[in-house]
Structures are given as C-alpha cells and as structure tokens.
C-alpha cells in the first residue's frame, strides 16, 4: 500500500522529484537529522531567552555591565540561531517542493512524522513563543526607561535654564558695540 492510503493526504514522491532523500532508510535518516537540527535550534532559542532575562535583570538593577554582556550574548546567539535556521531550511529543501514551506506542513510532504520529530517541532514552537514574549517585555521596559530618561533630562535642563537665565540690561547702541566679540586682529 502507498503512504497515501494510510494518511489520506497527498505525499511527495521523494525519488521521483529528484530529492536528495531517496527512500525509507534515507528518509528516516533525514527525519532524524531534522529532529536534531530542531533540538539545536530550540536550545539556541532558550539561550536567547536567558540572555533576554539577564538583560532585564541588568535594567532592573541598573547594572550597565550586565546589560552590555547580555547585549553581546544576544547578538552572538542571534547569529548562531540564524545559522541553525539555514541548516533547517536546507534540510527541509532536500525533500520539499520549494523553499518557504512551514514546519507545520511537513506531514503533507513526508506523511506521518516520528514522535521525536514531532516533539522537537513542538519544543521549538514553545521556546519561540516564550522568547517572543520576553522580547516584547524587554522592548516595553527599554521604552519606558528611555521615556523616563528623556523626561529626567528635560526636567534637568529646563530647571538649569531657569536658574541660569540672567536678564541683560538694555544697552544703548554704543554700549552694544563693546559687548560684540572682537574681530580678527583684536579690533571691534
């Protein structure tokens, strides 16, 4: 019986489409590789989340060093995560009709997925959702800190301007010349 008879969904013939993956054993190896890639991606997403939490802790405690370390950790993790996503994309492209197919559509191309792959896919989704929430929280906290800083600076400079303002006496035209800056050569 064909895989279509079991799932009721159309599947991609991996051999006929000229895919890198050729059959049951190769498909199994490919699915195992994809599950491993997804687990690596999930670990990186969790690493990113931890860096975001450290950044927020640094903001809460006013620790600029912790904030800077977390910013660098976030940047490194994002670069590594980008590489992991490229790997996943290349693995998916090996059996998919074209680029840009979502992980959620994988069953329609290869049929029933093994439990480890399903678990890895769900773990990536959960980690990404939790990390997206932490990104949103950090953005709000940073925005509030910037607004508070702007308000403080405005208050600081407006009060400094008020205390530094000295009224200038009304000068007659002849006196005004004396207050003008000298020209080159020391002449007015």
Residues 6+ away with beta carbon under 8 Å from 35: 114, 116, 117, 119, 120
Residue 38 has pLDDT above 90, yes or no: yes
Q: Which helix (H) or strand (E) holds 62?
A: none
The model's pLDDT over 42-66, given as tens digits with 9 standing for 90+, comes to 999 999 999 999 999 998 898 999 9
This prediction has a pTM of 0.65
Pairwise CA distance, residues 113 & 97, whole Å:
18
Pairwise CA distance, residues 42 & 123, whole Å:
6
The model's pLDDT over 107-136, given as tens digits with 9 standing for 90+, comes to 887 788 899 999 999 999 999 999 999 999
Pairwise CA distance, residues 87 & 40, whole Å:
10
């Amino acid at each position: 019986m064909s895989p279509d008879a079991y799932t009721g969904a159309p599947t991609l013939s991996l051999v006929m489409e000229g895919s890198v993956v050729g059959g049951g054993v190769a498909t199994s190896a490919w699915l195992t590789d994809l599950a491993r890639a997804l687990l690596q991606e999930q670990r990186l997403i969790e690493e990113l989340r931890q860096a975001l939490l450290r950044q927020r802790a640094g903001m809460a405690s006013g620790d600029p060093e912790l904030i800077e370390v977390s910013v660098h950790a976030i940047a490194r993790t994002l670069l590594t995560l980008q590489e992991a996503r490229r790997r996943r994309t290349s693995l998916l492209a090996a059996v998919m009709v074209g680029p840009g197919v979502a992980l959620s559509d994988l069953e329609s191309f290869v049929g029933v997925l093994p439990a480890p792959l399903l678990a890895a896919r769900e773990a990536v989704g959960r980690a990404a959702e939790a990390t997206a929430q932490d990104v949103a929280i950090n953005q709000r906290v940073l925005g509030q800190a910037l607004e508070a800083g702007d308000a403080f600076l405005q208050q600081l400079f407006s009060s400094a301007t008020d205390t530094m303002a000295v009224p200038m006496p009304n000068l007659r035209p002849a006196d005004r010349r004396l207050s003008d800056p000298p020209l080159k050569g020391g002449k007015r």
